């Protein structure tokens, strides 16, 4: 007698067997985000050498999530894997990152235009809310708070653009330039105000929220030009050891 094919069964996501995989993926993402934050704030200084175990101790995550995060960050060129020597937090090469800024400008133009054209009522509401928040809190925002909001803005724009592929392309670039912005605002001799960068973000948000694609692209170009201006000052004024802590300081106490 021929056996009838067994019926396919749907797996209930609330059942125990579905939990481990979801939790593991979540840990991978959390480990990546935690290390990314430490990179942006330079708590993991550019040029620093360390072992995988060091990252486990610093982040509190286990070996597998940290290993997964390190592989992603290595692909993002933010961590360098040195065989037999461990890991190195990628030093900052201002000439290279200025070239990458031109790449970001061109990709960002496409993303910003797409976001302005596709933004639905929910996206526009979120952007107008963020615009109000930045205006109301601009005089009290710390650099850490602004960076957290900047990350949210990037996510909003990518969500409005509606093309998941773009996130994998832009996220490493956003992290690279968020780190540049942190060093510029935190470590220049005369700490620059956040006003300029906030104003440019306000222009981008408003243009997308009002679905004005041409104005949104122009605002994005103005923001990139503003970031480009940071490089001129950093090239002449920043302590080189801020860009690569493995360089011996010019002056020692």
Q: Let me know whether 218 and 124 are in one domain.
A: yes
Q: What domain count does the chain have? A: 2
Average pLDDT along the chain = 89
Mean pLDDT of 122-141: 96
Range of the domain at 25: 18-89
pLDDT classification of 190: cutoffs 50, 70, 90: confident
pTM of the model: 0.84
Q: Let me know whether 61 and 145 are in one domain.
A: no
Which three-class secondary structure string do you get for the chain?
CCCCCCCCCCCCCCCHHHHHHHHHHHHHHHHHHHHHHHHHCCCCCCCCEECHHHHHHHHCCCHHHHHHHHHHHHHCCCEEEECCCEEEECCCCHHHHHHHHHHHHHHHHHHHHHHHHHCCHHHHHHHHHHHHHHHHHCCCCCHHHHHHHHHHHHHHHHHHHCCCHHHHHHHHHHHHHHHHHHHHHHHCCCCCCCHHHHHHHHHHHHHHHCCCHHHHHHHHHHHHHHHHHHHHHHHHHCCHHHHCCCCCCCCCC
Q: Which of 53, 83, 42, 19 is nearest to 175 (CA)?
A: 42
Q: Let me know whether 145 and 216 are in one domain.
A: yes
Q: Please classify residue 88 by burial: count the beta carbons closer than 10 Å to its beta carbon, then call 0-12 exposed, 13-18 middle and 19+ buried.
A: middle
Q: Last residue of a domain, which of 69, 89, 109?
A: 89
Q: Last residue of a domain, which of 61, 89, 117?
A: 89
C-alpha–C-alpha distance, residues 190 and 233, integer Å: 11
CATH code at position 25: 1.10.10.10
Q: Last residue of a domain, which of 64, 89, 114?
A: 89
pLDDT classification of 186: cutoffs 50, 70, 90: very high
C-alpha–C-alpha distance, residues 133 and 109, integer Å: 25
Q: Let me know whether 133 and 217 are in one domain.
A: yes
Please report whether residue 249 resides in a domain.
Answer: no
Mean pLDDT of 168-197: 92
Please report whether residue 149 resides in a domain.
Answer: yes
pLDDT value at 154 more than 70 = yes
Q: In this predicted model, what pLDDT tens digit does every residue of 80-123 receive, in sequence order?
A: 999 888 999 999 999 999 999 999 999 999 999 999 999 999 99
CATH code at position 195: 1.20.120.530
Please report whether residue 2 resides in a domain.
Answer: no
């Amino acid at each position: 007698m021929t056996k009838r094919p067994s019926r396919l069964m749907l797996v209930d996501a609330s059942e125990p067997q579905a939990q481990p995989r979801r939790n593991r993926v979540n840990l991978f993402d959390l480990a990546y985000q935690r290390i990314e934050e430490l990179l942006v704030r330079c708590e993991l200084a550019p040029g620093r050498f360390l072992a995988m175990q060091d990252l486990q101790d610093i982040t509190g995550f286990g070996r597998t999530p940290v290993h997964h995060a390190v592989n992603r960050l290595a692909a993002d060129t933010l961590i360098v894997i040195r065989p037999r020597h461990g890991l190195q937090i990628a030093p900052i090469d201002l000439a290279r990152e200025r070239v990458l800024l031109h790449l970001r400008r061109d990709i960002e133009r496409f993303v910003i235009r797409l976001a302005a054209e596709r933004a639905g009522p929910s996206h526009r509401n979120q952007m107008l809310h963020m615009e109000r928040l930045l205006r109301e809190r601009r005089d009290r925002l710390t650099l850490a708070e602004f960076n957290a909001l900047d990350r949210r803005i990037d996510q909003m724009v990518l969500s409005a653009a509606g093309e998941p592929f773009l996130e994998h392309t832009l996220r490493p670039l956003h992290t690279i330039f968020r780190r540049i912005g942190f060093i510029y605002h935190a470590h220049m001799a005369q700490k620059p105000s956040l006003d300029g960068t906030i104003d440019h973000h306000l222009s981008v948000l408003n243009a997308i929220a009002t679905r004005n694609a041409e104005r949104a692209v122009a605002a994005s170009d103005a923001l990139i030009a503003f970031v480009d201006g940071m490089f001129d000052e950093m090239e002449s004024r920043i302590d080189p050891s801020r860009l690569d802590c493995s360089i011996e300081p010019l002056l020692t106490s």
